A and B are shown apart, each in its own frame.
Chain A
Amino acid sequence: MDRRSFIKLTAVTGASAALASCGNPENQLIRFVPDEDIVPGIAVWKPGVCPLCAAGCGLTVRVMDADAEVVRNGQLGIVRIAAAKKLEGAPNHPVNRGGLCARGQAAIQITYHPDRITQPLKRAGERGDGRYEAISWDDALGEVVSRLDALEAAGTQRALAFLSRGGAGHRAALIEQFLARFGAPPPLVYELFGDEVLRRANAVSFGREQLPTLDLANARFVLSFGADFLGTWNSPVAQSVAYGAMRQGRPGIRGGFVQVESRMSQTGANADEWIPARPGTEGVLALGLAHVIVAAGLRPASAASRAGALIDGWSDGLQGYAPEQVEKITGVAAARVDRLGRQFAEMRPSVAIVAGPPLAHTNGFFTAVAVNALNALVGNIEQPGGVFFTPQLDLAAALKMKTPVAGAPAPPFRLQPEGDEDDPHIGDAQVLFVDGANPVFTAPRLWRIEQALAKAPYIVSFGSFLDETAVRADLILPDHSFLEAWSGAVPESGATVAVASVAPPVMRPLYQTRATPDVLLDIGRRLRRPLNLPWQTFEEMLAAAFAALPSATRDVDAWTDAQGKGMWSGTLPAGLGRAASLPAPPAARPLAYEAPSFDGDAGEYPFHFLPYPSTTFLDGSLAHLPWLQEMPDPLTSAMWSSWVEINPATAERLGIGQGDVVEIASAHGSVRAAAILTPGIAPDMVAMPAGQGHRTFTRYASGRGSNPVEVIAPVTEPATGALAWAATRVRVTRVGPPDGSLILFAGGMREHPEEHR
């Protein structure tokens, strides 16, 4: 064959190949001209802020080209976009120092989730059935504005409720300003595994209503009461960074670590010594150690000053908390109490941590104050290796905002059906905005959130997914993903210096979504009596907030500098910090131990029930991400599943085998899940991770597993009103053999023939 005929032949086969490719619809798509300058194959890195929890870790986002399917002028085609590809921890961020947790790694799947809400939706069916129709942004905003105008005309601005995920960042500050200017109560914040009890205890003990920053890297002895500080609590990446340094970061010094809890958490699994104490008695153990330290003359009782004075009998050396007494109450042997007390005083710097289940009992506030007193006794507050409080930027001061409310601020709405008569209930709201919270899934059944929402005449959700709460909304105004919008954060803890994070959008929005802060500003402008917020956009607000800070780099202003680095950190100028210390509260009756009370008769419901935040899904808000569904749980290797942890001895007594379906029933509800037999749990306790059991939450989470919240009794911690989520008793019954719902990665399942599974 000569060259000419070869070329002819390839031309023919090329044409037939082109014809054949018509069978593949993807090859028919038109390629549109990209809107952005992108060099294919070249990666750029941009700063970001992780949105998944309040820790506010800094991100470095890898951005490269990708081919996205788009519709332009009614024509489906492909366009090259600059797309986020991978999230890394920002190496210089003072909180996470280059690390990123499993959840943060998976956050990118939020942006590209196939079930994201892509445009404003208006309810077209009954509330909750998930039928919606498209609506334009103009019409949608017009609807919201007319509802708010009606409230204003009737003088009932207080009937606007805002349910949010909390946090103290720029977005929250904007929401507060919006509500205050409109005349509505401040936002209602609900989190199943919230830290209200600890914040309140830190306020009375140390004058700081804030979560602590733990200097583990310099500690020689760490004593944690139930805190899952390496997994899910507070600032887990910052704490893991410090943990690694505590163990192996100092030549010749390896910090010791003891965990007190009755169900072994991922954090507890790393302890040198794991000590189960009876649920709700952890505060007694802490005071037992304090008794030993004072009695042995290792530290004077007066060293604890204000934090100690809150405890009944402190100045008398805690006579009621001798090791023998402590053993009777907690079940921890007196000799061990004595040894731990001496270790805690002698292996300094030492630090005690309390969070999670110990504070989710009816005496949680006492427990937190007791552990605070133990820390104060060894003098570790604001000392290397001890407890710090991150200086907090006061955003209202930075923005030169004064909350324009005459008289006392209105109380926020409440979710609990019972409570102070003066506080409005969420069901009394005329217009309800929902941003990030999902109480239909995470609040106890007896709070009757669904019924309360049914009473509210108009619900607006800013959600990106149809979860159990968003599906009850009359209007959905979907937010951008965190990679498509300006984001900011003011971490409450995790660093010993003040930090404020910020990041410009990493990529263009994929859909017809709008950033919620910008939507609120837009609504504020469209009202009959405009709110006159001083910023046109969220970006302007961020710029104003950062302009108030001193620049960390010469020749560059703070705002420009922060955008490039993804954060500002340093010393806060006078007037921009939250008050360093709250005034000491008036002398109240000193706190004494009261036995925790549990919901459910011990005879009929013999087991303590512990729902706990899942390593992968937290309270369930991340169950829609497939990487996290398929990530094996650290302690069980379970994927895509729900399970109940039971002590092997208990299981044998009840005739329950590994994987058997069991029913957990309290006086208020019941769930079924597969049993996992594990030695890391007390024989009188069963535990279950939160997160699964969604009725509607995308294709990956809907109808999968069961939700332990269904079982929780509506018991609250009296000092704070926070839900005492560990105070429910249950009974356990075997329902039947394994039903195949429990999927484990470990245990030689791989490559096993079918009949052996």
Chain B
Amino acid sequence: MPRWGMAADLDRCNGCGACVVACHAENNISTVGAGEAARGRAKHWIRVERYWEGDFPDVRVKFRPVLCQHCDNAPCEPVCPTYASHHTEDGLNAQVYNRCIGTRYCANACPYNARFFDFFNPSWDKPLHLQLNPDVSLRMVGVVEKCTFCVQRINAARVQAKAEGRGVRDGEIQPACAQSCPSRALVFGDLDDPESEVSRLSRSPRGSKLLEDTGARPKVTYLARQA
């Protein structure tokens, strides 16, 4: 079984936000509009955080794309009373929407603020709905949704590989964020394959995990900006 993970090279990431919109397009994430966004209800499975350092004129900014870290020891999983939030065999931190009863314990437990509650049924002003991706289920009111590492693409690649009688090749699966990223900051793959690019990057001396001391054992490695 593979163990899916990601490496985010912060020396390549320039904060452009292509990943954010690519994720909306791939995963049928509805926009909530200005009023609801003002109440903190906007949903972005991946976001670009920025950290300001120093005062004018000696100012620096560091960007960091943050998405579900698909923790090996995920704090969101044990708190779920219905096993909606659970771990798959290939290491994904999955959310089964039709088990979810909306307690939002998982969203509270997540140290990364990566889980989003649906306060409403999603809606698209017609005909914007024609764009919806039929491979991704819509989330109805009262459930928590989150990054899936584009599980629909993982499954499609696995089915394809099986039909061709081979294993999934490294780089064959690209989540929408990584695929769109112009500067190639995001790399996805199998962490259990020591030859995969994501494994190689995850072993980089520049690498670290986000909020490692929570003990969540996240599977996204951030490669620090040099200099």
List A residues at the B interface (Cβ < 8 Å): 41, 64-69, 81, 83-89, 96, 98-106, 108-109, 112-114, 230-231, 236-237, 240-241, 243-245, 247-248, 254, 256, 264, 266-267, 269-270, 272, 274-276, 510, 615-616, 626-632, 634-635, 637, 639-641, 647-649, 678-683, 699, 704, 740, 743, 745-746, 749-752, 754, 757
Q: A102-B18, A639-B37 given; name 15 further pairs at CB < 8 Å.
A: A69-B127, A85-B133, A99-B183, A101-B18, A105-B25, A114-B128, A230-B183, A237-B182, A240-B182, A244-B184, A254-B11, A616-B17, A627-B25, A635-B50, A745-B42
When C-beta atoms are compared, the residue in chain A nearest to B128 turns out to be A112
Provide the B50-61 mask, 1 if CB < 8 A to any CB of A, else 0. 101011110111
B-side interface size class: 35 or more
Query: Looking at the complex, which of B26-34, B79-87, B92-100, B192-200 is the stretch in contact with chain A?
Result: B26-34
**In contact, A640 and B12 (Cβ under 8 angstroms):** no
Residue from B42, B129, B223 whose CB has the most chain A CB atoms within 10 Å = B42
Give Cα distance in the complex from A70 to B134, angstroms.
Answer: 20
Give chain A nearest CB distance to B187 CB in angstroms. Answer: 11
When C-beta atoms are compared, the residue in chain B nearest to A97 turns out to be B182
Give Cα distance in the complex from A93 to B14, angstroms.
Answer: 21
**In contact, A640 and B125 (Cβ under 8 angstroms):** no
- B171-197 residues at the A interface, CB under 8 angstroms: 176, 179-185
Give Cα distance in the complex from A629 to B34, angstroms.
Answer: 9
Give Cα distance in the complex from A640 to B31, angstroms.
Answer: 11
**In contact, B55 and A679 (Cβ under 8 angstroms):** yes
Residue B40 at the A interface, CB < 8 A? yes
When C-beta atoms are compared, the residue in chain A nearest to B181 turns out to be A99
B residues near A678, Cβ cutoff 8 Å: 52
Give Cα distance in the complex from A184 to B150, angstroms.
Answer: 53
When C-beta atoms are compared, the residue in chain B nearest to A626 turns out to be B31
B residues near A100, Cβ cutoff 8 Å: 18, 22, 180, 182
Residue B227 at the A interface, CB < 8 A? yes
A residues near B49, Cβ cutoff 8 Å: 746
Give chain A nearest CB distance to B157 CB in angstroms. Answer: 13
**In contact, A86 and B18 (Cβ under 8 angstroms):** no
**In contact, A750 and B113 (Cβ under 8 angstroms):** yes
Give Cα distance in the complex from A264 to B184, angstroms.
Answer: 23
**In contact, A740 and B127 (Cβ under 8 angstroms):** no
Residue B70 at the A interface, CB < 8 A? no
**In contact, A247 and B12 (Cβ under 8 angstroms):** yes
Give chain A nearest CB distance to B57 CB in angstroms. Answer: 5
**In contact, A248 and B59 (Cβ under 8 angstroms):** no
In-complex Cβ contact of B131 among A65, A84, A631 (8 A): A84
**In contact, B56 and A101 (Cβ under 8 angstroms):** no
**In contact, B31 and A629 (Cβ under 8 angstroms):** yes
**In contact, B17 and A680 (Cβ under 8 angstroms):** no
**In contact, B42 and A634 (Cβ under 8 angstroms):** no
**In contact, B56 and A634 (Cβ under 8 angstroms):** no
Residue B217 at the A interface, CB < 8 A? no
**In contact, A679 and B52 (Cβ under 8 angstroms):** yes
Give Cα distance in the complex from A240 to B16, angstroms.
Answer: 9
Given A64-B134, A69-B127, A274-B60: A634 and B15 within 8 A (CB)? Answer: yes
When C-beta atoms are compared, the residue in chain A nearest to B185 turns out to be A244
B residues near A266, Cβ cutoff 8 Å: 14-16
**In contact, A109 and B134 (Cβ under 8 angstroms):** no
Give Cα distance in the complex from A215 to B9, angstroms.
Answer: 21
The 3 closest A-B pairs by CB, nearest first: A244-B183, A99-B182, A240-B182
**In contact, A89 and B56 (Cβ under 8 angstroms):** no
Give Cα distance in the complex from A290 to B180, angstroms.
Answer: 39
Give chain B nearest CB distance to A225 CB in angstroms. Answer: 16
A residues near B134, Cβ cutoff 8 Å: 41, 64-66, 85
When C-beta atoms are compared, the residue in chain A nearest to B17 turns out to be A102
Residue B20 at the A interface, CB < 8 A? yes
Give Cα distance in the complex from A628 to B9, angstroms.
Answer: 24
Residue B1 at the A interface, CB < 8 A? no
**In contact, A704 and B59 (Cβ under 8 angstroms):** no
A residues near B61, Cβ cutoff 8 Å: 264, 269-270, 635, 680
**In contact, B11 and A101 (Cβ under 8 angstroms):** no
Give Cα distance in the complex from A630 to B36, angstroms.
Answer: 11
When C-beta atoms are compared, the residue in chain B nearest to A637 turns out to be B50
Give Cα distance in the complex from A106 to B25, angstroms.
Answer: 8
A residues near B20, Cβ cutoff 8 Å: 102, 631-632
**In contact, A99 and B63 (Cβ under 8 angstroms):** no
B residues near A615, Cβ cutoff 8 Å: 16-17
Give chain B nearest CB distance to A266 CB in angstroms. Answer: 6
A residues near B219, Cβ cutoff 8 Å: none
14 residue pairs A–B, Cβ–Cβ below 8 Å: A83-B131, A88-B180, A89-B179, A114-B126, A114-B128, A247-B226, A267-B14, A270-B15, A615-B17, A616-B17, A627-B31, A630-B33, A632-B17, A639-B37
Give chain B nearest CB distance to A466 CB in angstroms. Answer: 16
A residues near B47, Cβ cutoff 8 Å: 632, 745-746
B residues near A248, Cβ cutoff 8 Å: 9, 11-12, 223
When C-beta atoms are compared, the residue in chain A nearest to B26 turns out to be A86
A residues near B158, Cβ cutoff 8 Å: none
Provide the B113-157 mask, 1 if CB < 8 A to any CB of A, else 0. 100000000000111111111100000000000000000000000
